Structure 1
Amino acid sequence: MTTEFVFISSDNLHYLCPLFIKILLPLSRIKFVFIMEFLKFVKFFLVFGDHFFKYFPKFCSHKRDSTIPNPVFHLVHLEFLSFCSYTYLMTRTAVGLVGPIASGKGEVVKYLKKLGFTVFSLSDRVREEVCVRGLPLSRENLQNIGNELRETYGGHILAERTLEMLGDFEGNIVIDSIRNPSEIEFLKEALGITIIGIDASPEHRLEWYIDRAWKRGEDGTMEKDFVKANSRDLGLGENNFGQQVGRCLAMADVIIQNEDTKKHLLEAVDYYLISELGFSPEGTRRSKEK
């Protein structure tokens, strides 16, 4: 038995029962995670079309067009599963940032905010948990609680909680503080997000790390503090639920090396947004020229 999968257009949606029509048409305003679950159900349902659809017209209020083969309905497997993804994202750009400590991610976040992006940080979910427990907001506490949350609720938990905050938000977004591969996998499936990696040499990052600590009033910060924080951040000695920035960086769609000036870093970000993502400063997607 072979089931044909071709695209079902809006012109022949009415061949499906009215219940499906009422659900499918307003999908673009429903949370994407629920949309994907619904589409998976419909895909499963339609796979058995060879047995079911010959009886299906009895449940429809419209007579099926005889030009459409019976019992096969026209549906493209991938395009149907991605239908709402394209509808939901075609008016916005969704970017995720990964990179080791003091690599320049903060500068990129500030720049994207100037371009109109709204920033959602996974580490904010950890800070909220630390505050609820009445603990100091130290780097060690943030790392420990973050690891505990991932191990207890799954590696994707911080991404899931952040996604819940999006609601019906339709603007351009950047998701920061991604530190575990499960978070990337979840965001890829749920948002079709593009992951941009920001990296720099250990020498540069050490210099920026100490300079940043000095500006924060942490005068006692030394190289050994950087080595300790950097090792744990990259995932050295951590289990699968810990911070795994090294593995996350390997999953990035593009890695921008930050070895020059801030201007060069932001120009590289600009180039990628425009040439690869079709992003314009006005905050809209545009078709890439062939």
Structure 2
Amino acid sequence: MLDVAKRYPGGVTAVDGLTLRVPEGMVFGFLGPNGAGKTTTMRMLVGLVRPTSGRIRVLGQPPGTPGELARVGALIESPAFYPHLSGVDNLKLAARYAGVADSAADQVLAEVGLTGRARSPFRTYSLGMKQRLGVAAALLKQPSLLILDEPTNGLDPAGVSEIRELLRSLGQHGRTVLLSSHVLGEVEQVCDRIAVINRGRLIADGTSDELRAALGGGELLIAADPIDKAAACLREHRGVRAVQAADGRLRVDAEPSLAAELNRTLVEAGIDVRELRTVRHSLEEAFLELTGTDEPDPVPTTTTGSSR
């Protein structure tokens, strides 16, 4: 997508000049605060919402066209199924609409771990089971591109782990996955690359290591005696940006590559160093630093979620 914008009546801008390129065969994370424009972007990618301006191509096709939809599977917001039908019957119905064999339903149920509840009515499913069925529906066509909006919403830790392994497997077999999630640990473990948007604009794009590196790579955690003398000594070092005492240790804002030099400086000053280790910035810290603390403007909901 190139310079894409989506503006709603009333002056609300959900997406503002967004340019996003997702490489093929990659699990691509899509992050942003609530209201940042993630779901609106995903809706535009499958033709549920039309952009106000800009150009979108998905697998070389315009969004929402038969050529695009035949190769794309999507779970956007909450999955919608017939409550009185079983999980497998819902999937068989979806398979017929998609033009694939009924047998695909059993295959994807096994992939998402729902075989044991395949014949239970959808209305009896937990929230986590409904999410898994939504992922299964998105997989029916064995798509080249899988678009998943919060696929682990409502899952217990075991379910999150299962979906995480499924996503890893999908990425390893050449399928492209676009994954939106609020679980930053999940994104960090699964995604090859991450884009961060805020207020509808792209503000960062890179690997998780590259995003963390934007904060300076990390800190040094030092336990030394006497601590006051150690803090004063470190503050005089040209490579130390800041020193803060916390829980009997010193958090030192300095490049991890200075660890040996700082250790030597403290020892030469007669200070006993009991611990010195690097504390890497987390993806969560990078995300909060990139997006800031202001809450984005709310985005109106104009369409219902769907599994396609």
What is the TM-score with the length of structure 1 in the denominator? Answer: 0.29
Q: Which has the higher strand share?
A: 2
Q: Which has the higher helix share?
A: 1
What is the TM-score with the length of structure 2 in the denominator? Answer: 0.27
